[in-house]
Amino acid sequence: VEQSYIMVKPDGVQRGLVGEVISRFERKGFKLTGLKLFQCPKELAEEHYKDLKAKSFYPTLIDYITSGPVVCMVWEGVGVVASARKLIGSTNPLQAEPGTIRGDLAVQTGRNVIHGSDSPENGKRETALWFKEGELCEWTPAQAPWLME
Ligand code: GTP
Ligand code: MG
């Protein structure tokens, strides 16, 4: 099944937006299978963002992500990766549509509150990077038959 690795970044945790973010994914109807508050070590941040290593903002990005606890989540469901990207909105919060998480709750790319995997492959890769096997929980929400026929 498709998985998206979703993370409330340190600014979102410091600003008290964890519940708001979780709520939006819950209400949409995706299934939460992993959740933890976590202080990200520098090595993990570097591995997570290795594709951006050449960018000028990379050092500040690593400082940002390791500056305080993050909330790590795995959400599952058909089409969850692309749908989560829509719920999250554009990378630059000033360009993100109202109604999206970044569009409603942030003003700057360097403090954009949330991460979401950009492909199903990266959803699997990032889930394996941030969670150990035993930390994920397979379960059937009671509302399942009311979400999909
Ligand atoms: P993620 O869901 O966090 O991966 O964001 P994204 O997929 O919308 O953007 P991308 O993967 O291209 O960049 C990853 C993160 O790097 C962004 O979410 C920002 O936090 C940060 N970032 C990207 N571009 C810039 C930039 O120009 N300046 C700064 N300061 N940070 C940037
Ligand atoms: Mg990205």
Q: What's the mean pLDDT when you consider all of the chain?
A: 98
- Kindly state if the Cβ of 119 falls inside 6 Å of ligand 1: no
Using an 8 Å Cβ cutoff, are 3 and 123 in contact?
yes
3-state secondary structure 18-60: HHHHHHHHHHHCCEEEEEEEECCCHHHHHHHCHHHCCCCCHHH
Q: Which two tokens stand for residue 41?
A: 């070590």
Residue 102 Cβ contacting ligand 1 at under 6 Å: no
Give me the mean pLDDT over the 121-146 stretch.
97
For 48, 66, 105, the CA distances from 88, given in Å and listed in that order, are 18, 21, 10
For the segment 43-67, what is each residue's pLDDT rounded down to a tens digit?
999 999 999 999 999 999 999 999 9
C-beta of 99 in contact with ligand 1 (< 6 A): no
Q: What is the ipTM of this complex?
A: 0.96
Distance 41 CA to ligand 1 centre (A): 18
Q: Tell me, what amino acid is at 65? A: I
For residue 7, list its beta bridge partners. 72, 115
Give yes or no: 115 in active site: yes
Distance from the alpha carbon of residue 116 to the mean position of ligand 2, in angstroms: 7
- Of 72, 76, 51, the closest CA to residue 8 belongs to 72
The pLDDT of residue 65: 98
38 C-beta neighbours (distance < 10 Å), count: 13
Give residue 119 CA to ligand 2 midpoint distance, Å: 9
What is the DSSP annotation of 59-108? HHHHHHHTSS-EEEEEEESTTHHHHHHHHH--SSTTTSPTTSHHHHH---
Per annotation, catalytic residue among 65, 72, 113, 115: 115
